[in-house]
Chains A and B, each alone.
Chain A
Amino acid sequence: MEPNTLGRLKHFLSHDSERGLLKNTTIVIVSLVVFILAWWGLSSLLHSAFFPSPYEVGVAFVDAFQNPDPTTGVTMWQHMSQSLVRFLWGFAIAFVLALPLGLLMGFSKVADTFGRTIVEIFRPIPPIAWAPFFFIVAGVFWGPIMPVFLGVFFPVLSNVIFGVKSVDPLLLDVAKTQGASKPTLFRKVILPSTIPYLMTGIRIGLGIGWMCIVAAEMIVAQGGGVGLYISQMSLVGKYDYMFAGMVVIAILGILTTELSGYIERRVSRRMGMK
């Protein structure tokens, strides 16, 4: 294809996607407005303390960030950073273990069969079901981290295994005819081919991990955490603050998903897998 034809095609595509984006944004805004109106209508209809209006939740939301709440003694910023620290720990441990294990299981039939048997025993148990156990054996700091670890570990592991098995045999042949040794095949062909799969595993793991941290904190956390905050607010009957905590989780969850989706797309593009 002539370069200028390619350029024109690119321009056409980007123009087209701009128009699509505009249309999408409009629909998203309309959908948000409908949601808030429905919430408002329902809460004023029910007129219940358990179900505050968006306005009341908004006020509580702002207040939670500005003033430490009397029950836990800290602001929402600290709850968020607590949750985030736990989340990152769980994520980091899962990543560090799942990546090499996934590569090994992708390579070796023996390791795969051996590992898969154990994985399949653990997989059906929801990570959060482990929370009480981890709380007892690992304490208040590591306890809530372990469900995150499990939530991230399995999706990363299975995607990496799948990635290694999906390496194009043609690319391996090419590399061999170019004189590649086994370690070189691994480093220059298998590893880069696996990266987009790894990113998919990370994206899925982030979503599950985030749900795990909040749920685990509701069960066992101490000192702070958004999950803890929600359960505390419900116990003392401050339902507007409880909902504010849920809004915080929703916002953080959306940000995490968007960010990881963005990184995944960037990486896939960089790896030439559009």
Chain B
Amino acid sequence: MDGEFVCVLGPSGCGKTTLLRIIAGLEEPTGGTILLNNKEITGPGSDRGMVFQEFGLFPWRTVRKNIEFGLEIRKVEKEERRKISDKYIDLVGLKGFENSHPYELSGGMKQRVGIARALANDPEILLMDEPFGALDAQTRNLMQKELLRIWSEMKKTVVFITHSVDEAVFVADRVVVMSARPGNIRYVFNVEWERPRDRASVEFASLRKKILAELEKETVASH
């Protein structure tokens, strides 16, 4: 569904990351095809933006130049590039850090650059591979809220991979639970609550418990 926020959960080794990398075109599927708007994916492309767990910022580029990377490749005019990067710097809350280098930024700020860079190409879909996995718990919670704010402004389809059931229930419209090897889709939970969601609420806790139980079965099965 367009503009949907999908989370993929699964025991480690089930191929969550591989699935995402296949969608991104970084790896080839051993069988089957993946369609984006009825077109088969054959390789990487800027119609899919990807955010990586370890940020992957170019250390020699400033925040602005990191965000403009894809635009540069597509030979977008300098003024136009600047307009676009300004927009996304603003969106992710990095105003004042345009000319900083990655080593001057905290983890949370680095991932803000990562998100802005993925969005700057105006992709059809945003792929996020455990984007907050390298952050501390507090920054992680903050970044989840920030991501939801950004998503509500951009209305992009998001495929978000995580280990954290809590994170999935907090952000997703749909939570997909994958089974252990071979990784199949085992269960889909629809989460239709309003945002922002209350982590302390009873319904939140009960859904989390349900998903955890499903995951546990998979983890046991895989051992």
Residues of A within 8 A of B (CB): 1, 3, 6, 168, 170-171, 173-181, 184, 188-189, 192, 195, 270-274
Contact = CB atoms under 8 A, between A and B. Distances in A.
Interface of B: 24-26, 44-46, 48-50, 52, 54, 56, 58-61, 69-70, 72-74, 96, 101-104, 106, 109, 117-118, 121, 127
B61 A178 contact: no
Given A173-B26, A192-B60, A272-B60, A179 B45 contact: yes
B52, B69, B121 — which one has the most chain A CB atoms within 10 A of its CB?
B69
Contacts of B74: 179
Contact of A174 (B50, B104, B106): B50
Given A170-B54, A178-B117, A271 B59 contact: yes
A177 B48 contact: yes
A170 B121 CA distance: 19
Nearest to B66: A174
A39 B106 CA distance: 53
Contact of B61 (A1, A180, A272): A272
Nearest to B44: A176
A135 B32 CA distance: 67
A186 to B, nearest CB: 13
Contacts of A177: 24-26, 44-46, 48-50, 118, 127
Contacts of A270: 60
B69 A175 contact: yes
A67 to B, nearest CB: 50
Contacts of B26: 173, 176-177
Contacts of A179: 44-46, 70, 73-74, 121
Contacts of B73: 178-181, 184, 188
A167 B58 CA distance: 11
B58 A189 contact: yes
A181 B48 CA distance: 15
A170 B56 contact: yes
Given A177-B48, A179-B121, A6 B56 contact: no
Nearest to A187: B73
Contact of B60 (A3, A6, A176, A271): A271
